[in-house]
Structure formats: C-alpha cells, structure tokens
Chains A and B, each alone.
Chain A
Amino acid sequence: MSAVSDGPALDGLPAQSTGVAAPRPSGLLRGQLPGGLTVLLIAPLLALLAFAFFAPILRILAASVLEPRPGLSNYARLLSQPLYMDVIIRTLWISGACTALALLLGYPVAVLMARTRGGWATVIAACVLVPLWTSTLVRSYAWILLLDRNGILNGLMSKAGLISQPIDMLYGNAAVLMAMTHMLMPFVILPIYSALQSIAPELGQAATNLGAGPVRRFWSVTLPLSLPGVSAGCLLVFVMALGFYVTPALLGGPKTLMIATLISQQATELLNWPFAGAISGVLLALSLGIAVTFKRWLDLGRVVAHD
C-alpha cells in the first residue's frame, strides 16, 4: 500500500500531482494509536502467553528431543511400533468419521434453523446452544448414564422386552464416536447456519422463477453458497476431535486409546515424559498443520463471535 493513496488530498487533487513528495499520512488522521502505546497495550498479554502457554509447549517439545539423550529416538520409537501407529490411525479415522457424522446430522439442523422464525427458532437454538454451553465433562457423564450396563438405554430396552440381558455399550469405539459426534455437532451447525443466513432470499426466488424445483434449488443455490460454512465447521470439528481427551478417557476402554489418552497414559502412569512429549509433537504437528494449511477456511470468529 502506497503512502500516497492513503494520504489526505485536501485540495481535491492527488497529493502526487503537486510535484512535492507526499507527507507520510499521520495515523492519527485514521484514528490509529501511536506505535508506543500499541506495544504497551499488547505487551501484558504477550508476556502472559509466553510464560503460561508457549514456554510450556516448547518445554515438552524440547524434552522429546533432548531426553533421555539428544536425538530423535522418542520419535523413532513412536513411528516404529505398530501399537502406537494403531493409536494414531484410530484417532485419524475416529476424527474423520466424527466430522462426517457431525456434518450429515448437523446440515439439516442448520437448514431448519435458518428457515424457522418465531418461537420454534428459539427452541431449535436452545437445542443447539445448551449442549454447547455444557462442559464436555458433564456431557460425558450424561452419556455414561445413558450407555451403562445399568443405564437408561438398557433399562428402557429391557422394560420394552427388547433384550433379556443388558448390553455392554460403553468402552468401545461406537460409544466414543457417538458421544464425540454429539459434543462437536454445534461447531458444524453454527458456521453452516451463519453461511445460510447470508444467502439473499431473492436468489431462491429467482431460481424458482426460472423453473427450478426444490431439489434443484438446493443443489444449485443453497448447497454451493453454504460451502464456506461447511468447510469452516468440518475443519474445526476435525482438529478438535484429534485432540479430544475427556470423552475417550471416560467412555473408551483400552481398545479405544486415542492420541490424547495415550499422551496422558505415558506421562502419568509410565512417567515417560519425553515420550509423551514426542506424541504431543506429532499431535501438535497434525492439528497446527491442518489449521495453518486451511487457515483461510477456518473462521474461528464465525463460531465464537457468531452474530
């Protein structure tokens, strides 16, 4: 951006035409803060993040390459043992399946939310937002109440005569996948809803006037215009699912170890912090790699500060 184009042209002519070097536009004129004040305002937060966020992460990553001896031995061990590779692959497929399910179940809800007005709109919004405002810990507990051997679903099914023996539904991949999909669905519904809301209603009207039926209107107008919301929601869900800890730890068993639960197991049960650090390095590389690669799609403001 050139200084000239931003500069005030008080006489109605571009400053350049006077032949005099244009003065650097003062930031004050655009309501900007001076540089020194800017630094002063942001410094406390940067200092806090450096101490309580970035330093701890660098520390665990440093441990992964320096202990027990400098080198990549922790990473070599992680990548060479099928047991650990299985955990990484399971995490990837559970996260992928969770994203697909959340999209499949969330898209219709977003469509309904965007087209409903009045009292029902409040009910739908409550169904989407109340789970979002409930901690994953509380919701994991709720899923245990539902799926336990003596839990709600087994009770209802035996009362209805559907089963004679309680079924074990907890501690398997299915329980973890279902509960995680439930936890992450609001994160795909909200961005899609926001994208659908910004579609001008005239577009649908125009399609109808041109003879498109409801199906064609969906495929050629609604769906393509909602894709920014779909990509933002799916990315967010996939990245969050990769690092999910509470739900797999409480609802999963030894056979459903995911990357985050493996990290915790190595650190707290086996006290192998450097190896936990190496697994953390891989998880961090996956999450940040995806977030940075698709930065353009990942619109965090759309979810957190959705208007």
Chain B
Amino acid sequence: MTDRLFRTLCVAILVFLIAPTLLIVPVSFSAGSEFRFPPPGLSLQWYRTFLADDDWVDATLFSLGNAVLTAGLATVVGAAASLALVRGRMPGKALLEALLLAPLIVPPIVLAIGVYLQFAPLGLIGSRLGFILVHTALAVPYVVLVVSAALQRLPPSLEMAGLNLGASRIRCFREITLPLVWPAMLAGSVFAFLASFDETVVSFFISGIEHKAVTRKMFEDIEFSISPVIAAASTLFVAASIALMLLAGAARAAARKRTAA
C-alpha cells in the first residue's frame, strides 16, 4: 500500500520533470497560424518558417561555429591541464583546481557584464574570437572533470613502463595515454560543445548586431511572442542535444572500460 503510494507520487514528480520539455514537440508541429494547444492539426510549416528565416539560420550557424571551435579549444587546453593536475608535480594544486572549476560557480550575469566592459574597447563584441574565448572558459571545467577522472583511473605504471622501454614522453602519450583516455576527451568535448551552444547570458551581452548567438535570437523572440517557430527551433536543438549526450555517454562507458585496471 505505502509502496503503491510512493510509486504514484514518483510518477507524478517524473511527469512534472519531463512534461514541459515534451510539450514543445506537438506545439512545433502545429498546423495553426499561431500558438494553440492542442494544435488544430499537424504540419511542418513552422520548421519551414525556421529554415526560411535568415535571422534564425544565420544565428544558428554562428552559434554552431562557436560551439565547434569552443569544443576543440576546451578539449585541448582542458586535457593538457588535466594531465598537469593528475600527473604533474607542482605546489598549490588544490588552489589551482579550485580556480579551474570557478566558472561553474560564478553567476553568469557577473561574468557577462564584466566581459562586456573588458571586450568592448578591444572590439571583441560580436566577434567569433570573443565568443570562443569566454565560452572556452565556461566549458573547460567539464573537460577537466571528465578527463581528470579518466586519468586518475589509469595506473601510472603503464606510462612508466613505456618510459622504461625507452619511449619518449611524446610517444608514451601518443601510444599509451591517448588511446586510453580519448573516449573521455570525446565526452568532454561534447559537454563543451553543448555548454557553448546553450550558453545564454554571456552570449546575450556580447552578441553584435551582425553576429548574434542563437540563444540571444531566441531570448528576444520569446520576449516578443510565443510563436511556434521557437518551438520548432527548440525541438531541433533538444533532439540534437539528446543525440550528442547519448554519444558522450557511450564514450564515457568505453572510457571506464578501457581505464578500469
């Protein structure tokens, strides 16, 4: 009896969790000329509107470019830093770790107005370089957490064996470390990609008139109206996020298998 009550309660809470996200899907396929629920019929018109609107397409492509480059940069500098943190010898490691994770704790609005003041005189507002630099700072903690965890599971004896057999450090990294931790790096790069693509607050402040992040475009549109074209864009983005996160999950499962000693 209590078990049944508990289960019913849990199902209600799970519905509360998932329903708002799922409701976007039928709204995006609406055949109506404006937002109505339930939709009067089904059609692809709002997806066609999305694809035919240069503002939406340009903003989406701009954000995609930022996210790809951010993922690349964050993975390289983040993985290098993880190696230093896990395998390196240096004083003040705990403090360094705290500094690297600070972007997860600092409220984005504080960073947003600071970055605006810092970037405006340098001409970095609305520039790809500006976006990539800030987004990398925000995305790198995910890479560091995931790659450090994989490196910690990897016994140093493997790398030491390589060194003892006369391999150079670079060769050891390429032939021993990298093949064992790349799935973690792939997972980290997916997290970094999504952290950049979904980032809203800093993007709002550093978007220019020409180069606008898709999150700023969406934010402005939501304030203006609740047109189903926003639901169509959202559905596309959520579907892509789910696909990417499943990929990251598979990569991390592979990483655990490889590094389990």
Chain B residues closer than 8 Å to A53, beta-carbon distance: 102-103, 106, 111, 134, 137-138
- A276 x B9 contact (CB < 8 A): no
* Cα–Cα distance between A125 and B89 once the two chains are bound (Å): 39
Q: Chain B nearest CB: distance from A163 CB in Å? A: 15
| Other-chain contact of B110, A39, A45, A239, A283 (Cβ < 8 Å) | A283
Interface residues on A, range: 35 or more
- B140 contacts A by Cβ under 8 Å: yes
User: Would you call B100 an interface residue if the criterion is a C-beta within 8 Å of the partner chain's C-beta atoms?
Assistant: yes
Are the C-beta atoms of B103 and A137 separated by less than 8 Å? Answer: no
Which residues on A sit within 8 Å (CB–CB) of B96?
42
Query: Does B223 count as interface, using CB distance less than 8 angstroms?
Result: yes
Contact B24 A145 (CB under 8 A): yes
Q: Are A135 and B200 in contact (CB under 8 A)?
A: yes
B35 pairs with A145, CB closer than 8 A: yes
Asked if A57 and B17 make an inter-chain contact with CB atoms under 8 angstroms apart, the answer reads no
Contact with A along B239-252 (1 / 0, CB 8 A): 00110010000000
Residue in B80, B160, B219, B241 whose CB lies within 8 Å of A42: B80
* Given A148-B226, A250-B222: A52 in contact with B136 (beta carbons within 8 A): yes
Give the number of residue pairs across the A-B interface with Cβ within 8 Å.
268
In this complex, what residue of A is CB-closest to B6? A108
| Interface residue? B118 (CB, 8 A) | yes
Residues of A within 8 A of B59 (CB): none
Q: Are A150 and B87 in contact (CB under 8 A)?
A: no
**Contact in complex: A33, B245 (CB < 8 Å):** no
- A42–B113 contact, CB under 8 A? no
Residues of A within 8 A of B107 (CB): 242-243, 245, 260, 280, 283-284, 287
With A and B bound together, what is the CA distance between A139 and B103 in angstroms?
22
Min Cβ gap A156→B in Å is 8
Q: Flag A113-153 by CB within 8 Å of B: 1 or 0 each.
A: 00000000000101111110111111111111110101110
B106–A284 CB distance below 8 A = yes
CA gap between A129 and B244 in the complex, in Å: 13
Residue contact B10 to A109, C-beta cutoff 8 Å: yes
B145 touching A301 by the CB < 8 A rule?
yes
| Partner-A contacts on B (CB < 8 A) | 2, 6-7, 9-10, 13-14, 16-18, 20-21, 23-24, 27, 35-37, 77-78, 80-81, 83-85, 87-90, 96, 98-119, 133-134, 136-138, 140-142, 145-146, 149, 156-157, 159-160, 163, 169, 191, 194, 198, 200-201, 215, 218-219, 222-223, 226, 230-231, 234, 237-238, 241-242, 245, 256
Q: Which A positions have Cβ atoms within 8 angstroms of B?
A: 27-35, 37-39, 41-42, 44-46, 48-49, 51-53, 55-61, 63, 105-106, 108-109, 112, 124, 126-131, 133-146, 148, 150-152, 155, 182, 185-186, 214, 239, 242-243, 245-246, 250, 260, 263-264, 267, 273, 276-277, 280, 283-284, 287-288, 291, 295, 300-301, 304-305, 307
What are 16 inter-chain pairs, A to B, with CB distance below 8 A? A37-B169, A45-B77, A48-B77, A109-B13, A127-B14, A130-B21, A131-B21, A135-B200, A137-B200, A145-B226, A242-B107, A245-B200, A280-B107, A283-B109, A284-B106, A301-B149
